[in-house]
Amino acid sequence: MRKVLAAAFVTAAAAYAWPAMANDGLMNIIKDPKQWGIQTGDYANTRYSKLDEVNAGNVGKLQVAWTFSTGVLRGHEGGPLIIGDVMYVHTPFPNIVYALDLNNDGRILWKYEPKQDPNVIPVMCCDTVNRGLAYSDGTIFLHQADTTLVALDAKTGAKKWSVVNGDPKKGETNTATVMPVKDKVIVGISGGEFGVRCHVTAYDTKTGKQVWRGYSIGPDSDILVDPEKTTDLGKPVGKDSSLKSWEGDQWKIGGGCTWGWYSYDPETNLVYYGSGNPSTWNPSQRPGDNKWSMTIWARDADTGVAKWVYQMTPHDEWDYDGVNEMILTDQKMDGKDRKLLTHFDRNGFGYTLDRVTGDLLVAEKYDPAVNWATKVDMDRSSPTFGRPQVVSKYSTAQQGEDVNTKGICPAALGTKDQQPAAFSPKTGLFYVPTNHVCMDYEPFRVSYTAGQPYVGATLSMYPAPNSHGGMGNFIAWDNTKGKIVWSLPEPFSVWSGALATAGDVVFYGTLEGYLKAVDSKTGKELYKFKTPSGIIGNVTTYEHKGKQYIAILSGVGGWAGIGLAAGLTDPNAGLGAVGGYAALSSYTNLGGQLTVFALPN
């Protein structure tokens, strides 16, 4: 094993010496602000655009330029890609793909509709969403709900190849996008609520052949760590770092799923992402830290070998998945130029790390309602450095099985779920869509059966008490200081991805269906428009024939909107979200539409 990993590190070092080997075509598209070539805007996940025709002075004049119905209801997450004069639009299950001609009023150039077994729907956690397509070298990549990864010809929609990444009969599904890096496409998997042992996999972009696979949990050879070279807060992880943190064989059904966002640094050749909750949700059934669930991973793109890891919520007791995006920035901190990684975790803490070394620099609450922990220990001499200081009153493990622990903040869907934040290099601020929600949580003993839910907890959710009464905030955050700069209250969680632009405008959507534009410096609302359905998609911008456009998918759903999306009425359904967001039905309804905005001619 050691020889194999040593060889892998040599290979990685050689690859780092040749940055030109990266996917130059995609990287050129990403650098062109007229196009939107990757779901996250760029490899760094900044969701920032250099376009500035639409700016703080004129955004109030935006008008609807055109619309497109996807023909599918339920939750529309992600956003369109714009490659040249073609827009690529996706849908939730059954994951239809449309290629639209921007030169011809959005005429459908081709349509791809996969044939999937509808039995995959009840296996999917938290709605039938899909976070979007990816593009590389003339190929559109679709990762279907049933885990089939499909490569389509970008010009014709013809299938080039497909490969199956998991088995829905075991609870393995997909909701995430994928990320092309060099000659590989990086793919995750869902299923933590079904006892799936999850992984990240790299497939060859030309053939679909598996190149490497790194599990979140298990033996060193499975999780692709080198006990002596892979570090955790600057120290080697040591032999069997994951196995030692689990009792018996629980790790084999231990979760750690990888359904969030991915980022990539061509200079370090590292792929960054987070792993999700350990299984089950009943912490009494899995003593230990449950490594490496709830972890930020930095893996070599060529070999998959982890350079460093950092576990944010050891022995998770609240379902605070660590899958949210890792935003890569080069900023000054304490007078020094630093290569930073900023992560807004479900657990309510905003983390800033050195993305080269994994050194933890900042860990502060980005919602004052967070109460499950007092702080993260930042004393480097402390044996608990980097660990959250858990409050006993809100510890579901300490309170025990069949005890309803009340008033935990945030709720299981976190202070922020997958809805991605944005960063503006002009202001140096991060713009974060958040949930302002708390919960009561009662764990119970549960048995594992392959393909059946393996949760072991009941929940109820409600707005954070002693606050503005709403369930969300949209905030501006200083990652070097760990401080909220400004905060805008919202009646419901902000479940849409943000977009920051060089025009000093930040866009986001609301669950009621509003597209909003605010001043990036002050947060002042500059524009809003009510779309036909709740927005859980991510705002996108592009330029066509010299004109800037803003695009957003609307279609209520996701975890917060699961009651509407799936027609559920039991308040405890949707792991408590149905009751928590019951009032949403008074503001919006099911839909599936792309709305594109522009300034008047």
What count of Cα atoms within 13 Å lies in the side-chain half-sphere of residue 215?
21
Distance CA 363, CA 311 (A): 13
Distance CA 213, CA 138 (A): 25
Which residue carries 């955790």 as its tokens?
A: 232
Residue type, 487: S
Q: β-strand 405-408 against 437-443: which pairing, if any?
A: antiparallel
Active-site annotation holds for 319: yes
DSSP state of 5: H
Distance CA 278, CA 131 (A): 22
Give phi and psi for 94, each to the nearest 5.
-90, 20
How many residues belong to the chain? 601
Task: For residue 436, give the nearest of 508, 381, 491 by alpha carbon.
Answer: 491
C-alpha dist (Å) from residue 295 to 107, 215, 239, 262, 415? 43, 12, 18, 13, 17
Task: For residue 201, give the nearest of 192, 210, 190, 191 by alpha carbon.
Answer: 210
- Give the DSSP H or E segment for 244: none
Tell me how many degrees the CA angle 147-148-150 measures, rounded to the nearest 5.
140
Question: Residue ranges for the binding site for pyrroloquinoline quinone?
Answer: 77, 131, 175
CB of 149 closer than 8 Å to CB of 188: no
> Which one of 226, 300, 319, 321 is the catalytic residue?
319
CB of 560 closer than 8 Å to CB of 577: yes
Q: Is the peptide bond before 368 cis (omega within 30 degrees of 0)?
A: no
Other residues' Cβ atoms within 10 Å of the Cβ of residue 402: 11
Tell me how many degrees the CA angle 570-572-573 measures, rounded to the nearest 5.
65
Tokens of 294: 């709830």
Cα torsion 340, 344, 347, 348: sign: positive
CB of 411 closer than 8 Å to CB of 461: yes
List the end-to-end C-alpha distance of the chain, in Å, as a whole number: 64
Which residue carries 């907890």 as its tokens?
A: 457
β-pair partners for 37: none
Other residues' Cβ atoms within 10 Å of the Cβ of residue 115: 7
Residue type, 489: P
Question: Residue ranges for the binding site for Ca(2+)?
Answer: 193, 277, 319
CB of 198 closer than 8 Å to CB of 149: no
Query: Which residues are the active-site residues?
Result: 319
